[in-house]
Structure 1
Amino acid sequence: MMEEKAGETALILLGCPQVPVQTSVALYCAYMLQQNGIRPIIAGTTAARKLLEVADPERHYAGTLEDLDTVIGEFAEKKRDVDYCFVFAHNDSGIAYAGTMAYLSKARLYVLLFGEHPEEVAAAITFPCEQVTVKATHNPMPMKKKIDEVIRWVAASKQ
């Protein structure tokens, strides 16, 4: 793992964990960020956080797990910000969370669109962000490949 530099943090924002790939890919994303010297903070709904706590009980990859509404409140009050924000979106609620972060944060925003019909969900995006779209519900490998690409972009932007 690379040495973490001050200020290099990434928020991974998770809504409803209805689509199975979200949990494993979120953990993988956190791992890849750590490997590139960026401290991940995962904010999610109660169900999303519980799935991560069970999957990674010693928090080797998940690191910091926080309540989604609390974190959004802290951003709204300008009590915190991050360098990068990864919003997992498979429905309109995910797009709403991403839009909120686009408005509240100065972070470089990546919206990871997945599920049965990610293109339809992506059509609702009306704010600036990097869109990463992949049809994935049960098999995490297509999303893993996309995360690898995105993390390469992030690592390249740090240089």
Structure 2
Amino acid sequence: MNALLMMGCPELPVQTAAALYIANKLNREGFEVTAAGNNAAISLLLNSDPEKHYIKKVIDLDRCIANLAEKKTDFDLCFVFIHSDSGISYLATVKSLSKAKTVAVIFGKDIEPLIKESEDSIIIAAKAVHNPTPLRAKIDGVKSWAALTK
């Protein structure tokens, strides 16, 4: 099984911590994890995981979307990190291009409108900006990511 972590601008610090935490859980379940993001998001991940214990593959966000559109790649599970309307746009894009089960990872100060716009995906949401603990607690509530793909 394979999973995609799709990240936009890493404006809020919790995004990198949450992505690495989810990648660790996915790796433990045997998923092949790919991270897609802009240069800043990917740089933060690679600097936080220099030996690639958690994130084995990275790809530019635009290249990833192009590959999905051209059917060159697909995933079983896709986590879209959302803290603004642009994250909602990425979620809609993935849903239209991929067969992946989508998980909206929503964080920030004002999460309610983002939750409402993500209702057709699995939602993991917490008010979190700097401290990843509230979001981590929600992530820990999922006992098996593989079960979501069935």
The equivalent of 1:110 in structure 2 is 103
Moved segments of 4+, more than 6 Å: none
- Counterpart of 2:145 (choices 127, 131, 154) is 154
CA distance in 2, matches of 1:103, 1:158: 17
- Kept in 1, the 8 Å contact 2:124–2:135? The answer is no
Question: In structure 1, the residue corresponding to 2:141 is in which secondary structure?
Answer: helix
- Counterpart of 1:96 (choices 72, 89, 95) is 89
- Kept in 2, the 8 Å contact 1:15–1:48? The answer is yes
Paired residue type of 2:147: A
- With over 3 angstroms needed to count, the CA separation of the structure-2 counterparts of 1:47 and 1:157, relative to structure 1, is closer
Question: In structure 1, the residue corresponding to 2:108 is in which secondary structure?
Answer: coil
**Offset from partner CA, 1:87-131 (integer Å, 9 cap, x none):** 0000000000001001111011000111011112223337x3112
CA distance in 1, matches of 2:20, 2:6: 12
The equivalent of 2:125 in structure 1 is 133
- Kept in 2, the 8 Å contact 1:12–1:40? The answer is yes
- Kept in 2, the 8 Å contact 1:111–1:132? The answer is yes
- Kept in 2, the 8 Å contact 1:43–1:49? The answer is yes
Paired residue type of 1:154: W
CA distance in 2, matches of 1:48, 1:13: 10
CA distance in 1, matches of 2:62, 2:127: 27
List runs of 5+ in structure 1 lacking aligned partners: 1-7
CA distance in 1, matches of 2:53, 2:148: 26
List runs of 5+ in structure 2 lacking aligned partners: none
How many positions carry a matched residue from both structures?
150
Per the TM alignment, residue 65 of structure 1 is displaced from its structure 2 partner at its CA by 1.1
Root-mean-square deviation (Å): 1.5
Question: In structure 2, the residue corresponding to 1:123 is in which secondary structure?
Answer: helix
TM-score w.r.t. structure 1 length?
Answer: 0.89
TM-score w.r.t. structure 2 length?
Answer: 0.94
CA distance in 2, matches of 1:156, 1:73: 28
Per the TM alignment, residue 153 of structure 1 is displaced from its structure 2 partner at its CA by 4.1
- Asked if residue 54 in structure 1 is aligned to residue 66 in structure 2, the reply is no
